Amino acid sequence: MKFELSDQTCLTWSGDCLVVGLSEAAIPLSGSLAELNDRVSGLLQELIDEAEFTGKAGTKAVIRVGNGVRKLGLVGLGAADSLNADTLRRAAAAAARLAKQEKCTSLGLSLPVVDNDPALSTQAVTQAAIEGVTLALHQDDRFKSDEADKGKTTLETIHLLESQGQDTSLEAAQAICDGVILARELVSAPANVVTPETLAQTAQEIATAHGLELEILEREQCEALGMGAYLGVAQASDLPPKFIHLTYKPAATPSHKLAIIGKGLTFDSGGLNIKGAGSGIEMMKMDMGGAAATLGAAKAIAQLKPSAEVHFISAAAENMISGKAMRPGDILTASNGKTIEVNNTDAEGRLTLADALVFAEKLEVDAIVDLATLTGACIVALGDDIAGLFSDHDDLATAIAQAAETAGEKFWRLPMEEKYFEGLKSIVADMKNTGPRPGGSITAALFLKQFVEHTPWVHLDVAGPVWTEKESGYNNPGGTGFGVRTLVQWVSAM
Ligand code: BES
Ligand code: MN
Ligand code: ZN
């Protein structure tokens, strides 16, 4: 499947399937759309009438035309004044799904450009279209053996109409999709395939392919750094922990130094507080969704070459049970010297992140962002599609929120209510790792805060959106690659 940046319009292009994005304001037809209707002998108007197509976002319709274009499709863009890059990404995804369903080999895609809006320039529209199409058509067949089960597509060429010369958008979109797809595949792969060791290998592959620096800290090195919280989580597994530190350095003096940390639990059994039936334990392969987004962002950023230096970090481990397991009630000492009473071994992500945050701060970065499938409570609060955003630093929180808006990923800021730290008070240690059930995402964030001294920091609880059961927009069932686009957008805007 390849993209062609074409100077053709919907009036001149011919091929297998032409799909036009229409906003609600485009109906009744006028101007070039009326001309297109003439070109197809009135079949466009007939399609609008028969399908009762109004241009509503998320709707589509298709009709057979012949005469240079075999099929004509419409995808709704919603109200013209609420048009944004994400609407276009979703419309492009719908167009790609339509062309696939109609067994087309070529797709000509026409989406509107808004001249006075930089967010909807030819460049932005081209990039959104490529992202939408690529992500919608990506299907993960790695673990299917039956050819018939593989979601093959007949699509060979996608012609983006009126986009000639937008080569940098094509490259940017492909870099971003590379990253999102890597993250999806890491999340979707089971825990017997993606282990701390293979996560480290993936980091190695990125480093080798794109010239990044890589440091993998083995257990002994982490011990020497005093990472008792992280190692406590890792100690029951037969698989050794791998502390991943991948670094992108721009050619010139960096404009900023940033750290991105991803929770990297390749499997979370809960430990001795083992997850019971109905807890979703069989889904806990996705507990490295933060690490997946981190590595996905690294893969994209390595290709996009922004001006900031970026450290990609994950304290990867597996939370298991064995005679070596940490016991509920054990006291661990993190690398900043703070002691933690582990009152629940299933609140393990924050223990691994504690040492990763201390490590990141020692790098003297200007900002730290962590992404973690940290709490079920965040899913209860915000549902499957929205991630929690926590920060005491308004400027950084705003920068992340703006990046997310552009990227079309949803976050909602939740309070870092200091008073709730009382729920983590321990009689014997500096703190417990688990507070009461109410406000569980907030106490988790407050726990992490104990490991960041002065660096601006945002914590993103991505437990819900890293996985989806259903096809929606440009996502397919499985890992979503959530977080990659926001991270890339944030770093690129620095
Ligand atoms: N990995 C889980 C959080 C999670 C739950 C992610 C569901 C995705 C879907 C985390 O390690 C965990 O077990 N959290 C506990 C914390 C509790 C013990 C304080 C939870 O949310 O129940
Ligand atoms: Mn857990
Ligand atoms: Zn977990």
CATH code where residue 281 lies: 3.40.630.10
Boundary (domain end) residue, out of 162, 195, 215: 162
Shared domain for 289 and 414, answered yes or no, is: yes
Of 45-49, 91-95, 147-151, 341-345, where does mean pLDDT reach its minimum? 147-151
| pLDDT for position 426 | 98
pLDDT at 148 over 90: no
CA torsion sign for 380, 381, 386, 389 is negative
| pLDDT for position 306 | 98
| pLDDT for position 326 | 98
Element (H, E) at 340: strand 339-341
Assigned domain for 61 exists: yes
Shared domain for 140 and 261, answered yes or no, is: no
Ligand 1 closest atom vs CA 349: 11
Assigned domain for 352 exists: yes
Residue range 220-239: mean pLDDT, rounded: 98
Position 488 confidence tier, pLDDT thresholds 50, 70, 90: very high
Of 66-70, 296-300, 376-380, 428-432, where does mean pLDDT reach its minimum? 66-70
| pLDDT for position 67 | 78
β 339-341/331-333 pair status: antiparallel
The CA 316 to ligand 3 mean position distance, Å, reads 11
Boundary (domain end) residue, out of 162, 195, 210: 162
Q: Is 346 in the pocket of ligand 1 (CB under 6 A)?
A: yes
Query: Pick from 125, 113, 224: which is nearest to 172 by CA?
Result: 125
Boundary (domain end) residue, out of 128, 162, 196: 162
Considering its fold, how many domains does the chain have in total?
2
Position 365 confidence tier, pLDDT thresholds 50, 70, 90: very high
**Which ligand minimizes its atom distance to the CA of 374?**
1
Assigned domain for 138 exists: yes
Assigned domain for 169 exists: no
Share of the chain above pLDDT 70, in %: 100
Shared domain for 140 and 188, answered yes or no, is: no
Q: Catalytic positions, please?
A: 275, 350
pLDDT at 150 over 90: no
| pLDDT for position 85 | 94
Shared domain for 128 and 275, answered yes or no, is: no
Q: What pLDDT digit, counting tens, does each position of 177-204 carry?
A: 999 999 999 999 999 999 999 999 999 9
| Protein residue with least CA distance to atom 13, ligand 1 | 346
Shared domain for 157 and 189, answered yes or no, is: no
CATH number at residue 32: 3.40.220.10
Mean of the per-residue pLDDT values for the chain?
97
Assigned domain for 474 exists: yes
Cβ–Cβ under 8 Å, residues 261 and 368: yes
Structure tokens at 166: 């937008």
Q: Is 463 in the pocket of ligand 1 (CB under 6 A)?
A: yes
Which has the higher per-residue pLDDT, 146 or 266? Answer: 266
Which region, left, alpha or beta, applies to residue 435 given φ > 0 means left and ψ of -120 to 50 means alpha?
Answer: beta
Q: Which of 346, 446, 466 to mutate to test the pocket of ligand 1 (most atoms within 8 A of CB)?
A: 346
Q: What pLDDT digit, counting tens, does each position of 426-463 carry?
A: 999 999 999 999 999 999 999 999 999 999 999 999 99
| pLDDT for position 379 | 98
| pLDDT for position 152 | 81
Query: Pick from 357, 344, 335: which is nearest to 231 by CA?
Result: 335
Shared domain for 97 and 197, answered yes or no, is: no
In sequence order, what DSSP letters do the residues of 448-484 get, joined into one string?
HHTT-SSS-EEEEE-TTTTEESS-BTTB-SEE--TTH
Shared domain for 129 and 227, answered yes or no, is: no
Shared domain for 239 and 117, answered yes or no, is: no
| pLDDT for position 158 | 98
Cβ–Cβ under 8 Å, residues 466 and 479: yes
pLDDT at 151 over 80: no
Assigned domain for 292 exists: yes
Ligand 1 closest atom vs CA 280: 7
Shared domain for 202 and 115, answered yes or no, is: no
Shared domain for 449 and 319, answered yes or no, is: yes
| pLDDT for position 149 | 80
Assigned domain for 170 exists: no
Shared domain for 143 and 184, answered yes or no, is: no
- Neighbouring residues of the ion ligand 3, judged by CB less than 5 Å: 265, 268, 287, 349
Range of the domain at 121: 2-162
| pLDDT for position 395 | 98
Q: What pLDDT digit, counting tens, does each position of 32-54 carry?
A: 999 999 999 999 999 999 999 99
For 350, half-sphere exposure in the C-beta direction (CA atoms, 13 angstrom radius) is 32
Which has the higher per-residue pLDDT, 277 or 488? Answer: 488
Residue range 70-89: mean pLDDT, rounded: 96
Q: Which of 286, 340, 370, 375 to mutate to test the pocket of ligand 1 (most atoms within 8 A of CB)?
A: 375
Share of the chain above pLDDT 90, in %: 96
- 6: DSSP letter: -
| pLDDT for position 266 | 98
Q: What pLDDT digit, counting tens, does each position of 293-304 carry?
A: 999 999 999 999
Element (H, E) at 394: helix 394-407
Cβ neighbours for 56, distance < 8 A, ≥ 6 positions apart: 24, 76, 78
Which has the higher per-residue pLDDT, 189 or 67? Answer: 189
Assigned domain for 419 exists: yes
Shared domain for 148 and 206, answered yes or no, is: no
